[in-house]
Amino acid sequence: MKYGKVFNCEGKNMKKRIGVILLCILLIVSSLVIFFPVEAVKLSGNTFYVGGSGPGNYTKIQDAINDSSNGDTVLVYRGVYYENIVVNKTINLIGEDRTKTVIDGGTEGCVITLKKIDGIKTSGFTIHNGKTGIYLLDSSNNNITGNNIQNNTNYGIYFNYFSNNNNIINDNIIQNNKICIYMDSNNCNNIISNNIFKNNIQAIYFYYSSNNIIIGNDIQCGIWILNEITRGIYLWGSTNDIIKDNNIHNISYMGIKPSIGISLEGSNITIIGNNIQDNSMSGISSSGSDIIITCNNIQNNGEGLLIASSKHFIISDNNIQNNRKGIRIISSEHNIPDFIISGNNIQNNTEYGIYLNCPSVTNYNPYVNYTITGNIIKINNVGVFVYQTPGWKKGISNNIISNNNIGIELKDSSLHDIISNNISNNEYGVYIHSLSNSNEIKNNNFINNQLKDAYFENSFFNIWNNNYWDQWNKIGPKKISGKFIQIIPLINFDWHPAREPYDIT
């Protein structure tokens, strides 16, 4: 099941780092499928029957489990079983019909506990009405597939801390729980795939758990609890996880509950090929490091991406449309970002296409190291807004920036390069103000901007050079008008305006 709507991810000259990491993702996913296939646990040994009309069938699931041995199967016929069962043997626990074979926890404890044993398959049940649906305690290499896990007051599936590794959670419907899947500390190498999550506060929550894959799930929430933020996927302190090809949508309750599609506070996370829509706060919110966000469809969120106090991240080849802000990047004093934004389609965002605000710098790390290149930035209020951010000659280059109210705006931001962009059909092409000094604007096309190709206020020592101005066909320097304290005219010059437009695609 593949949900992500990839934007122009094939045939791109992507950065070398992205290519290497995507190759690693392919190898990891392939190897996990080989070693942990969905049908990894095979039926063998004796079969114990529960319910039904057969002679000698058990009436309680726990009694059949107690009499079974490793390698056996407990087959449960349709019916409602009021039990809290503990599985401490390597068996296959199979229900006849996932909608009509019901284990009811009676509002107490855990409906099913997988306890200190590996290699259990649990399939074909409705698991409901407990505090927790399925509880994994020091239990690995299990297969939980094809169940309805619902109406549990706390958790659908709970991974206790440590040693719950190499499990597959596949093809389940997990709904009406507070948290659908919760992984406590140090649970690794698990696959959560092709599940449906509905009506929960958090669908998937990892706490300091690493090397897990979340792939091909449909995630929508919508429970209203006061002072709670609803999240589709929440990774706290987790590392080396992959979030791929999920459909994460309608996370907020009736569109008014605070909600985030994916929330990250970890490192070395890859988010690829997901469809992330209709979240009232953010599609993706990250305060982690070494994050790759690529080939996602991110639409109709409050903010498409919020990157706060993060380091070392790449945002590439995403479709980011119809959000309030497309990409917003902010920093704290000790987390000055370095990032690449490349090859994205950033359109129809009501406030900003890209918003960069990194004012808190130190003598140790006084500048923001960034590249914004190769993007299509169209039909936003402001295409690129840089506020209180020192750049040290870092750049906005080779972008198509058109049909915005303002193409590029620098406010109280110095030492930036604006190079080789196609800036067209905006109200203002480039607007520089509020002591934005010593910036260099060169080799750009300024074409058919309605009010001003370029304008500046209270800003000094900016360099304009070799730009193409479609409304300038004279010999000599191109005059660029500005003001000081709103009333005193100022003039800059492009000393060597280009005679022909550059080929910028």
Nearest to 180 by CA among 143, 140, 222: 222
| Rounded-to-integer distance, Cα 213 and Cα 183, Å | 13
Give phi and psi for 262, each to the nearest 5.
-130, 125
CA dihedral over 114, 115, 116, 120, signed as positive or negative: negative
| Rounded-to-integer distance, Cα 405 and Cα 428, Å | 6
184-210 average pLDDT score: 95
Q: Give, for 35, the enclosing helix (H) or strand (E).
A: helix 16-35
The pTM score is 0.92
Q: Give, for 382, the enclosing helix (H) or strand (E).
A: strand 382-387
Q: What is the pLDDT of residue 230?
A: 87
Is 445 contained in some domain? Answer: no
Secondary structure letter of residue 202 according to DSSP: E
Is 479 contained in some domain? Answer: no
Is 498 contained in some domain? Answer: no
The answer to whether 483 touches 490, Cβ cutoff 8 Å, is yes
| Rounded-to-integer distance, Cα 450 and Cα 436, Å | 23
For 335-351, how does the pLDDT look when each residue is reduced to its tens digit (9 = 90+)? Answer: 667 899 999 999 999 99
Is 371 contained in some domain? Answer: yes
471: left (phi over 0), alpha (psi -120 to 50) or beta: alpha
The DSSP code sequence of 402-418 is ESSSEEEEEES--SEEE
The answer to whether 158 touches 182, Cβ cutoff 8 Å, is yes
Q: What is the pLDDT of residue 505?
A: 81
For 225-276, how does the pLDDT look when each residue is reduced to its tens digit (9 = 90+)? Answer: 556 788 999 999 999 999 999 999 977 655 456 889 999 999 999 999 999 9
Domain count, the chain: 1
Whole-Å CA distances, 195 to 124, 220, 350, 492: 14, 11, 33, 60
pLDDT at 416 over 90: yes
Is 300 contained in some domain? Answer: yes
The answer to whether 293 touches 264, Cβ cutoff 8 Å, is no
Nearest to 78 by CA among 55, 45, 100: 100
396-402 average pLDDT score: 99
Q: Which residue has the tokens 């489990």?
A: 65
Is 53 contained in some domain? Answer: yes
Nearest to 17 by CA among 337, 315, 346, 287: 315
| Rounded-to-integer distance, Cα 9 and Cα 319, Å | 10
The CATH number linked to 324 is: 2.160.20.10
Tokens of 320: 């980011």
For 2-46, how does the pLDDT look when each residue is reduced to its tens digit (9 = 90+)? Answer: 554 445 565 544 445 455 455 545 544 444 443 334 344 445 699
Beta bridge partners of 93: 74, 122
Q: Which residue has the tokens 């729980």?
A: 177
pLDDT-wise least confident of 194-198, 229-233, 356-360: 356-360
> How is the chain split among helix, strand and coil, in percent rounded to 5?
5, 45, 50
**Burial class of residue 487 (count of CB atoms within 10 Å of its CB; 0-12, 13-18, 19+):** exposed
Give the confidence band of 120 by pLDDT, cuts at 50, 70, 90. very high
Q: How many CB atoms lie within 10 A of CB 219?
A: 28
Give the confidence band of 1 by pLDDT, cuts at 50, 70, 90. low
Q: What is the pLDDT of residue 355?
A: 98
Q: What is the pLDDT of residue 33?
A: 42
For 369-393, how does the pLDDT look when each residue is reduced to its tens digit (9 = 90+)? Answer: 899 999 999 999 999 999 999 887 7
Range of the domain at 160: 45-404
Q: What is the pLDDT of residue 226?
A: 56
The answer to whether 281 touches 300, Cβ cutoff 8 Å, is no
Strands, E assignment, 211-364? 213-215, 218-219, 230-239, 242-244, 247-249, 259-272, 275-277, 282-286, 289-294, 297-299, 303-308, 311-316, 319-321, 325-330, 338-342, 345-347, 352-357
In one-letter notation, the amino acid at residue 291 is I
Q: What is the pLDDT of residue 256?
A: 56
Is 27 contained in some domain? Answer: no
Q: What is the pLDDT of residue 258?
A: 82
Is 73 contained in some domain? Answer: yes
Q: What is the pLDDT of residue 2?
A: 53
Report the relative pairing of strands 406-411 and 382-387 from DSSP bridges: parallel
Q: Which residue has the tokens 């936003």?
A: 380
pLDDT at 278 over 80: yes
Three-state secondary-structure class, residue 216: coil
For 48-77, how does the pLDDT look when each residue is reduced to its tens digit (9 = 90+)? Answer: 999 999 999 999 999 999 999 999 999 999
Whole-Å CA distances, 82 to 63, 73, 342, 383: 13, 20, 55, 59
